[in-house]
Amino acid sequence: MRERRTIYHHNGYRLRSYTELMWARLLEASGIFYLYEPDLVRVDEGYYLPDFWLPNVGIYLEVKGKEPTPEEIQKADAVMARTGKEVMFLIGLPESDLGGLFNCGLLMRGANGWHHNISPIDLQCLVRDHVSPEAAARMSLSVQKDDMDFVRPIGEIMEEMFLVRADRSDMERVLRETHAEANAQRLTLMPEPTIWEMALKAFLDRQIFRTSQRGAA
């Protein structure tokens, strides 16, 4: 029986779910550089901690196992208004078969509100047709489940036991410190933007949110 986990070690980070792990792998396979939980944003009467930040694209990504609630969308709107940076939701646990990616979606804000007009499989098809079939295949392979995902060293098990038994504030402090160190290390190795990052940024630069931000500047 597979043990339920609350922390997944990956690239020096402590990811909070298997769904986040799969999205992280998909980003890497797509040639997209990310930082994990780098910014704690003050919104309204609380704080918002987006899951991923893409420095070469300029967008926050928020992972959700299912469709975000109206309250979660409202918080994302508040982050965009406060920071001038977009938020995109990554929805579902990505999987793949011979046809490509499935069981996952994207939710982004357009001129007429939040929409699902673009899907991961649409993007994968663009990669297949305009980059290479091999690159698209790497995307599919990255999200295939592996039994080794549920095997871990005893040290990781002990660390998780201590973290989940600590006060929530203590656990969050430890995770922030861990992720800040990992992000700083990754930034020293940040590569030049890939063709896929440049294409994604060019697409977003033409959308209403960024054009409105440039107009307000």
Task: Compare 147 and 52 and report the one with higher pLDDT.
Answer: 52
Using only C-alpha atoms, the chain has a radius of gyration, in whole angstroms, of: 18
pLDDT band at 1 (very low <50, low <70, confident <90, very high): very low
Tell me if 63 sits within 8 A of 50, measured CB to CB.
Answer: no
Domain residues for 184? 8-216
For the segment 134-157, the average pLDDT, to the nearest whole number, is: 84
Q: Is 50 exposed, middle or buried (0-12, 13-18, 19+ CB in 10 A)?
A: buried
Residue 130 has pLDDT above 50, yes or no: yes
Residue 160 has pLDDT above 90, yes or no: no
pLDDT band at 142 (very low <50, low <70, confident <90, very high): very high
Q: Would you say residue 2 lies in a domain?
A: no
For the segment 51-62, the average pLDDT, to the nearest whole number, is: 97
Domain count, the chain: 1
Q: Would you say residue 1 lies in a domain?
A: no
pLDDT of amino acid 211: 81
Q: Which amino acid is at 126?
A: L
Residue 28 has pLDDT above 90, yes or no: yes
Among 115-119, 144-148, 211-215, which stretch is predicted with the lowest mean pLDDT?
211-215
For the segment 54-79, the average pLDDT, to the nearest whole number, is: 96
Residue 22 has pLDDT above 50, yes or no: yes
pLDDT of amino acid 45: 75
Q: Is 169 exposed, middle or buried (0-12, 13-18, 19+ CB in 10 A)?
A: exposed
* Arithmetic mean of pLDDT over the chain: 90
Q: Would you say residue 162 lies in a domain?
A: yes
Tell me if 139 sits within 8 A of 101, measured CB to CB.
Answer: yes
Residue 78 has pLDDT above 70, yes or no: yes
For the segment 182-202, the average pLDDT, to the nearest whole number, is: 95
Q: Would you say residue 3 lies in a domain?
A: no
Tell me if 82 sits within 8 A of 109, measured CB to CB.
Answer: no
Q: Would you say residue 82 lies in a domain?
A: yes
